[in-house]
Structure 1
Amino acid sequence: MATYLYRIGKWAYLNKFKMIAIWLLVLVGMGVAAATLSKPTSESFSIPGIPSEKAQTQMVEAFPEKPKFDENVSVKYVIKAPAGANLTEPQYQAAINTMVEQMKQFDKAKAPEESIANPFDTYGTKDNPGPGRDAVIEYQEQTFGKSPASAEADAQASSPINQDATIAQLGAAFDVEAAADVSSTAHTQMEDVANSARASGLTVEMSGTALPQPAIGFTSELIGMGVGAIVMILTFASLVAWGMPLITALVGVIIGMLGVTAATFFFDLSSETPILATMIGLAVGIDYALFIVSRYRHEVHTSKSRAEAAGKAVGTAGSAVVFAGATVFIALAALFIVNIPFLTAMGLAAAGTVLVAVLVALTLLPAILGVFGNKVFAGRLKFLNPPDVTPHDPARRHNGQRWVNQVVKRPAIFVIGSIVILGLLAIPIGGLKLGLPNDGNGDPSTTQRKAYDLVAEGFGPGQNNPFVVVADGSGIADEGQRIEAFDGLVNQIKGVDDVATAMISPGDLNEAKDTAIISVLPASASGDDATQQLVKDLRGLESSVADDTGLTYGVTGQTAIEIDVSDQLSSALIPYLIVVVGLAFILLMIVFRSILVPLTAALGFLLSIGATFGATVAIFTNGDFGLVGNPQPLVSFLPIILIGIVFGLAMDYQVFLVSRMREAYIHGTPAKEAVISGFSHSSRVVAAAAAIMISVFAAFMLQDMVFIKAIGFALAVAVVFDAFIVRMTLIPAVLAMLGDKAWWLPKWLDKILPNVDIEGEKLNKTLAAEQEASDEREALKV
């Protein structure tokens, strides 16, 4: 591989303008594709095949006029009267009527005259019932034979006005396909409606998918690149060289983002997908280019031309980049095995940006080096030591060499110390809680969270997270028996722990009267353990109900879908981890020609990921140190995304550090000295790469989305733990303890595994042979 990459790098250097033109064409082509194919992102987290999704499909088939739970783009206003007052008072009724008239003017409002109305007029209260309330009472009495008191209780349970008429809800739907299609005019109108009602003394908060979503800012990217620039200036001691990795990383990220934008035409991508892809693409793009430029500087001192130095840098460091990128790519692309569409899309998008970053580093970077020629390392900062000495400079010791000498001198102490530190950091992982984003765990300062709290205050916490039981009575021939069975199921559900109420509303029996929708309100909030248990209890009743009555049913609703998604993600975690670690283990065996080196790499990863989860849970869930103002469960798909990314990055540092150790070892350096030699050559650039990664990831904590904040923090601390504690402390200590045994590989396995020549041994032999042949030709000419 090194020989092929050498030729690619040298050709790109010598044909710099052709290579740059190729990438410009790619950039333009992706830009055109993005401009013509882009579609809005999706906020759906559903998974085909989960119980709640099957029940929802059954509901839509029986009631085609009802939208799916995540399809209706709407806004809901929650209104509260001042303390001691009542919403039925004339001045507040006037304010609500004004709101209604303003809401009817919303841009692209769906059927405003029919669907937007004052709930006190359309539904009413117990003392002053409206047609909606009367219809519910009549329906319950006539269809199910309920008593007036029982029918009245059901009417109140489905009322948009609470018992004492101090809090009410009203809303509007929009005639658009996706939330992203709601216009800025509509957003302004929504806020104006709320403000005008607030001016009359009412408390008004809003929720719903039609509200503006958190903007994705570019501040985090700029901060990451700014810190990266400073680190690279310090690394290369040059005011010019630092720009090479930044330019190529930026090109890679732009192409990757254009590709993700174009992919929205073919796939449903969540709004978090481009942020995640940018985060990964920017970090690995800078790192991969940094490794190659660093090796290029080293090769310039020993090569006969800069073109050959570029070829050697791509052939050696580029080989490590290919395998490091391959581990990240595998870890992200392998997300498809969990069979969760939105997660697969996120993984493939991020994997695509990594692939682009690798290709850009191997081809565009040497071309840019060719453009700058002998000015690549110009702007020398004399107060900084350059990373490599020339053959004419005296040898010097640096901090990386001093550190590894101490590690190799007392390896057992560093092994034990690293394990203890990471183990202690992992302790909070026992409090790991998972969930999906919803208004209930949103920032308390947002109007969505305030609306959620007002609903819980006025109607009970379960009003925010109703369940839907879709009951199929097609197995019962007699219509009267079906109705009786449906009513019996409602009463049985009411007796389940944590059920506040259950009912079949008007319109929730289909035309054939063989399918019913039973609305179930829990007594607890969506994030409570009791709510999770309620879903299990309701599903646990299904078999006995089927045996006793002939009814079958499924449980769905937005909260049920979220619970099923979280369970599916949790169950997919271990299989995913096995597949990713297994594939990477094989890849690392090929790279290092060893069994123990990949094994120690994988075990070190487990330590660092455990510490990462512990720290993330401590900060974001437990609220330790007060760094997060709104502690909450971690997003359900964060662990699996985190494992994929961190494993890939961990193997990056493993490859870059240990490949130089192996390179020294196979060239005859004793095992312990090879650890020191390899670490001395690569520690500075690995430390710089880690610092850049940390800054890029940590900067994403400035984004508004809680998921992005948490994953930015988790990735940043993961790099700290893995790069500095595991790869730069634990691994050198373990390899020093193992000595020659670290590089042992059974002969039979050695014959099976392909030899990819990541150290460039075959490349050096090829170049030596070519030089010898050239010398002979010159001698013959003489």
Structure 2
Amino acid sequence: YGSNGVHIGPSEIIGVGVAVLVLVVTFGSLLAAGMSLLPALLGVAVGLAGLFALTPAVSISSTAVTLALMLGLAVGIDYILFILTRHRQQLARGTDPRESIALANGTAGSAVVFAGSTVIIALAALSVIGIPFLTVMGLGAAGAVLVAVLAAITLLPALAGFAGTRLTPKPGSKEARRATDPDGSAGRTTLGARWVRTVVAKPLLTVLAVAGILLALALPAADLRLALPDNASAPVTSTERKAYDTVGDKFGPGFNGPLLVLTETDKGSGARAGAQAAQKLRDLKGVEAVLPPVPTRDAAQTVIQVIPETGPDSARTDRLVRDIRAAAPDIRESTGATVAVTGTTAVNIDVSTRLSDSLLPFMAIVVGLSLILLTVVFRSLVVPLKAAFGFLLSVAASLGLVVALFQWGWLADTLGLAHTGPVVSFLPIILIGVLFGLAMDYEVFLVSGMREEWVHTGVARGSVIDGARHSVRVVTAAALIMFTVFAGFFPLDDALIKPIAFALAVGVAIDAFAVRLTLVPAVLALAGRHAWWLPAWLDRVLPDLDVEGTRLQKAPQVRHKEPERVS
């Protein structure tokens, strides 16, 4: 454990080790794998150093630091993978190293900036909710992603400049053959091309099968309950958990989360009004005990402890808090005292309620943003609608698996969960924000190649297969890296990080393999020529972002000679 309680253990190291292995297999080069990992690690180090530097001025929890570490490392490796893959493909085709890294930065690097910006915006939006610790968590993670993006588009080109031609794939290697035979004319069929051909062979069956499976996985999400974890979620061997269990066994679960009720009267005796209010509170359903009112320094105020029958994370305790607040007008009318409920349990319930209320508006903003951005990028109506539908399926299926494991307790013993209960209240918003950025990145990387083939050939189904030929391999590697990095944080005994790590790991896997690599080609093949249709009036109105830098690839490479010196 570090000074802020950040844990780096064997599971995280194994996760990074698996990421290195994936990079070596993807690139076929230790140098290229090291070039991918070094800027990502340096970016994470800079991001965490900046976060630690703020600790004298801002209270930063260990969860915020761990989340920043997890996201910074995962997106850092992925973003560098996209740029470096493009650079090595161009080197294999004989492009000058300096021109190649500049072109890769202008094409794949632009897509990285686009994807990273979406993640940053979504994470920074946590500050709008108005909960201080969530604001710090969101801005800290957004800062780590920002540093990862900057490392990818600045440090990587500099390191590539030092490496020069040494990053060029060896002649005759698989990497070189894939780069120099972009259309597969030599008869070599990649695994990615075979998978896409299988998917688009019967596109309607593929769409129905994938959508049906994801909807089935999403069914548990209908029972989603949100709450902040308490000491019941602490490690079994910790003193907090032992004390929590002992109090619950000996006195009752409600004693672990008493409610504090403040009574205040404008006239008369505060003690008498408090006693009358306490009597009213005893009559409410779900109350185990009401302790005698305790006067404060103000004679008009008293504090009453209300012990619920159930624990802090129970739905019945939540209902009791609502019942007390609903009964406040009647209590004021009969006793003359105003009633306000507070305490850790009530505060956690209020935070969870606010997050629950903001979930649908946040989702609407994210989906609306994706529709606008993808319409501008791909000049199509089907592509953004399909992307938004697939994104919603990914989020719903991920939340369904989270509910089944962490709330219902399916496979809890197998995976070593010491406690099941409501899902961490801010998990859905973090999942939506991070998964949105990654989904847009994979979407741009895959569909841009398909659109380019469509523009060149005009063959709808063929453009889907040929356009995905190389992208499938890179997206697969990126998703595997993301999955292993996130999964590496799952074994932590942290009630906040464990479900977030699980949700992000399964979310990335579902979105990359089920949605982007399977559902997307099938839908585009099913739509045919209509997949690339956009009304003429809308095409004229929309700006041209050129996220993938296609104009750079079409622009002639002009070398400027230095003027001769006149003696």
TM-score, scaled to structure 1: 0.68
Which residue type is aligned with residue 334 of structure 1?
A
Question: Which letter does structure 1 place at the counterpart of 2:441?
Answer: D
Deviations 1:267-305 (A, max 9, x none): 332221111111111111111111111111111234541
Residues 84 and 104, structure 2, Cα contact 8 Å, conserved in 1:
yes
Aligned-pair CA distance for 1:539: 0.9
Pairs within 5 Å for 1:448-487: 448-473=240-265, 475-476=266-267, 478-479=268-269, 482-487=270-275
Query: How far is the alpha carbon of 1:238 from its aligned partner?
Result: 1.5
Tell me the distance in 1 between the aligned counterparts of 2:446 and 2:217. 25
Superposed counterparts of 1:192-341, under 5 Å: 216-341=7-132
In the alignment, what sits opposite 1:390?
180
Alignment deviations for residues 738-771 of structure 1 (CA, whole Å, 9 cap, x no partner):
1222222222222232212234332244325x36
- In structure 1, C-alpha distance between the alignment counterparts of 2:16 and 2:125, rounded to whole Å: 29
Structure 1 residues 671, 329: CA separation in 2 closer, same or farther (over 3 Å shift)?
farther
Give the direction of change, closer, same or farther, for the CA distance of 1:490–1:424 in structure 2 (3 Å limit): same
Q: How far does residue 321 in structure 1 lie from its aligned partner after superposition?
A: 1.3
Distance 1:384 1:447, change over 3 A: farther
Q: For each residue in 1:117-142, what CA deviation from the matched residue of structure 2 results, as whole angstroms up to 9, or x when unmatched?
A: xxxxxxxxxxxxxxxxxxxxxxxxxx
Change (3 A) 1:283 1:526: same
Amino acid at match of 1:341: P
Q: What is the deviation of 1:220?
A: 4.0
Contact 1:281 1:354 in 2 (8 A): yes
Contact 2:460 2:529 in 1 (8 A): yes
Q: Would you say the 8 A contact 2:310–2:316 is kept in 1?
A: yes
Report what 1:67 is aligned to. none
Taking the aligned partners of 2:553 and 2:167, their CA distance within structure 1 comes to: 25
Q: CA deviation at 1:435?
A: 1.9
AA matched with 1:399? L
Q: Deviations over 1:467-518 (max 9, x none)?
A: 1111111x21x33xx432221111111121222222335xx31344111111
Taking the aligned partners of 1:588 and 1:344, their CA distance within structure 2 comes to 28
Secondary structure (helix, strand or coil) at the match of 1:240 reads helix
**2:305 alignment partner, SS class:** strand
Which residues of 2 match residues 520-531 of structure 1 at below 5 A? 520-531=306-317
Q: 1:395 to 1:243 in 2, by over 3 A?
A: farther
SS of 1:757's partner is coil
- 1:695 Cα deviation (Å)? 0.5
Give the distance between the partners of 1:216 and 1:637, measured in 2 at CA. 21
Q: Which amino acid aligns with 1:542?
A: A
Write the mapping of 1:493-572 to structure 2, written as runs, cut at 5 A: 493-504=281-292, 508-572=294-358
Matching of residue 614 in structure 1 with residue 400 in structure 2: yes
Check 1:381–1:616 CA distance in 2 against 1; reply closer, same or farther (3 A cut): farther
The 3 A distance-change label for structure 1 pair 629 and 764 is: closer
Residues 36 and 77 in structure 2, CA contact (< 8 A), matched pair in contact too: yes
Match of 1:438 in 2: 230
In 2, Cα distance between equivalents of 1:635 and 1:749: 42
* Distance in 1 (alpha carbons) for counterparts of 2:479 and 2:271: 66
Amino acid at match of 2:491: L
| Partner Cα distance (2:181, 2:409) in 1 | 54
Partner residue of 2:482? 693
Structure 1 residues 764 and 612: alpha-carbon distance in aligned structure 2, compared to 1, 3 A threshold: closer
What's the secondary structure of 1:426's corresponding residue?
A: helix
CA distance in structure 2 between the partners assigned to 1:752 and 1:218 by the alignment: 52
Taking the aligned partners of 1:628 and 1:617, their CA distance within structure 2 comes to 16
In the other structure, the counterpart of 1:702 is 491
Amino acid in the other structure paired with 2:238 = T
Query: Structure 1 residue 360 and structure 2 residue 151: aligned?
Result: yes
Q: Which has the larger radius of gyration?
A: 1
1:345 aligns with 2:133: no
Asked whether the 8 Å contact 2:192–2:469 carries over to 1, the reply is yes
Q: Is the 8 A contact 1:400 1:679 kept in 2?
A: yes
Residue 431 of structure 2 aligns with which residue? 642
For structure 1, list consecutive stretches of 5 or more residues without a partner in the other structure. Answer: 1-38, 42-213
Q: State the distance in 2 between where 1:765 and 1:646 align.
A: 32
Asked if 1:667 is matched to 2:459, the reply is no
Q: Does 752-761 or 459-468 show the bigger shift?
A: 752-761
Contact 1:591–1:756 (Cα < 8 Å) also in 2: yes
What runs of 5+ residues in structure 2 fail to find an aligned partner? none
Give the letter for the 1:495 counterpart. D
Q: How many residues align?
A: 557
Other-structure match for 1:624: 410
Within the candidate set 595, 610, 629, 2:381 is matched to 595
**What is the rounded CA distance, in whole Å, between the counterparts of 2:512 and 2:298 in structure 1?**
64
Shift of 1:453: 2.0
Change beyond 3 A, Cα 1:519–1:666: same
Q: Secondary structure at the match of 2:340?
A: strand
Stretch deviating more after TM superposition (214-223 or 301-310) = 214-223
Aligned-pair RMSD on alpha carbons? 2.4
Number of the residue aligned with 1:109: none
Does residue 1:410 correspond to 2:202, yes or no? yes
2:231/2:241 contact within 8 Å kept:
yes
Distance in 2 between the 1:309 and 1:215 partners? 39
SS in 1 for 2:339: strand
Q: What is the deviation of 1:385?
A: 5.5
Greater alpha carbon shift after TM alignment, 457-466 vs 390-399: 390-399
The 3-state SS of whatever aligns with 1:555 is strand
CA distance in 1, matches of 2:19, 2:82: 14
Q: Is the 8 A contact 2:435 2:504 kept in 1?
A: yes
Contact 1:444–1:450 (CA under 8 A) maintained in structure 2:
yes
AA aligned to 2:30 is: L
Distance change in 2, residues 1:522/1:668 (3 Å): same
TM-aligned CA distance change 1:457 to 1:268, over 3 Å:
same
What is the DSSP-based 3-state SS (H/G/I as helix, E as strand, rest coil) of the residue aligned with 2:31? coil
* Corresponding residue for residue 152 of structure 1: none
- TM-score normalised by L of structure 2: 0.92
Give how far 1:641 is off. Answer: 1.2
Relative to 1, partners in 2 of residues 1:220 and 1:259: Cα closer, same or farther, differing over 3 Å? farther
How many Å apart are 1:438 and its aligned residue? Answer: 1.2
Cα distance between partner residues in 2 of 1:260 and 1:368: 25
Cα gap change, 1:447/1:265 in structure 2, threshold over 3 Å: closer, same or farther? closer
Shift of 1:669: 4.4
1:574 deviation in Å? 0.8
- The Cα shift of 1:733 comes to 0.5
Contact 1:429–1:610 (8 Å) recurs in 2: yes
- Residue 46 of structure 2 contacts residue 147 of structure 2 at CA under 8 Å; is this kept in 1? yes
Q: How do 1:703-782 residues align onto structure 2 when only pairs under 5 Å count?
A: 703-767=492-556, 770=558
Amino acid at match of 2:440: M
- 540-549 or 553-562: which moved more? 540-549
> Residues 670, 244 of structure 1: CA spacing in aligned structure 2 closer, same or farther, 3 A cutoff?
same
Moved more, 728-737 or 583-592: 583-592
